[in-house]
Amino acid sequence: MGNALQGRHALVTGGGRGIGAAIARRLLADGASVTLLGREQAALDATVHALQSCVIEGAALGAVSADITDADWVSGAFAGATEARGPITLLVNNAGQAYSAPFGKTDLALWQRMLEVNLTGTFICTQAALPAMLEAGWGRIVNVASTAGLIGYGYVSAYCAAKHGVIGLTRSLALELATKGVTVNAVCPGYTETDIVRDAVANIVGKTGRSEEQARAELAARNPQRRLVRPDEVADAVAWLCQPSASAITGQAVPVAGGEVMAG
């Protein structure tokens, strides 16, 4: 930690809770100004209030409301954030959703929703942020994907397909921008202590009759460390990729999963 990101402005989608809030806290600690973006204004306001003490001198913290699947809404939100806190040169595409269903019961609406939120939303936000980065000749784009973008999981085919798409987008764009001073990377958390995992636990309990403790242990068993990942561990990986010193790291998908996936 320090002031390595002082003078930079980071926008974090899905910033109102969980991993997004942890990322915002970590980037603030490194001196960045931060804008939280999400759909629920009340959650955003609460997180801004909770993180206010983390803002260092010369930096700023605020929030904008938008649905990342709506390009016009996103464009307006990014413009407002830029007017308030300066050009966005750090973008963390963290917002996402996960729903489980057997493939045979995955209807077109669920399929399209998973693609829209997890993949198209990343595309829309990246297109909104990229011009300012190219103008500055410097930028960091970090996509919070998932180990589901690197391997397969049963009963979440739409989510896996979308997250694999995020990894493909990351790699392709990294090549396009390799000489532009802008890096593009992904972090791929395993099962993490978030609302998505709490919903998964509740789903397992409801469908199998297992206890909550048994359901959590089932999810944690995928991790060789036999535990769920903490949001702050994901945030530390994101912050590392945002550093000026990480300029040679691009096009990578970094698992944060206790050894569940060993990329290389």
Kindly tell me if the per-residue pLDDT of 156 is higher than 60.
yes
Question: Could you report the per-residue pLDDT of 96-150, keeping only the tens digit for each?
Answer: 999 989 999 999 999 999 999 999 999 999 999 999 999 999 999 999 999 999 9
Residues 80 and 15: their CA atoms lie apart, in Å, by 16
Whole-number average pLDDT of the chain? 93
Exposed e or buried b for every residue in 46-63, given b needs 16+ CB within 10 A?
ebbeebeeebbeebebeb
What is the pLDDT at residue 1?
57
- Rounded to a whole number, what is the largest CA-CA distance in the chain? 55
* Residue 161 token pair: 């397909």
What is the pLDDT at residue 251?
98
Domain boundary assignment for the chain: 9-190+229-255
pLDDT confidence tier of residue 220, bands split at 50, 70 and 90: confident
Residue with tokens 């910033």: 15
* Residue 210 token pair: 């297992």
Mean pLDDT of 79-94: 98
Q: What is the pTM of this model?
A: 0.92
* Residue 218 token pair: 């089932």
**Residue 187: enclosing H or E segment and its boundaries?**
strand 182-189
Mean pLDDT of 211-227: 81
Q: What is the CATH number of domain 9-190+229-255?
A: 3.40.50.720
* Residue 160 token pair: 């896996």
3-state secondary structure of 12: strand
Active site residues: 159
Residue with tokens 């919070």: 144
**Residue 25: enclosing H or E segment and its boundaries?**
helix 18-29
3-state secondary structure of 82: helix
Paired strand residues for 184: 141
Residue 230 dihedral angles phi and psi, to the nearest 5° = -95, 145
- CB 185, CB 251: distance < 8 Å: yes
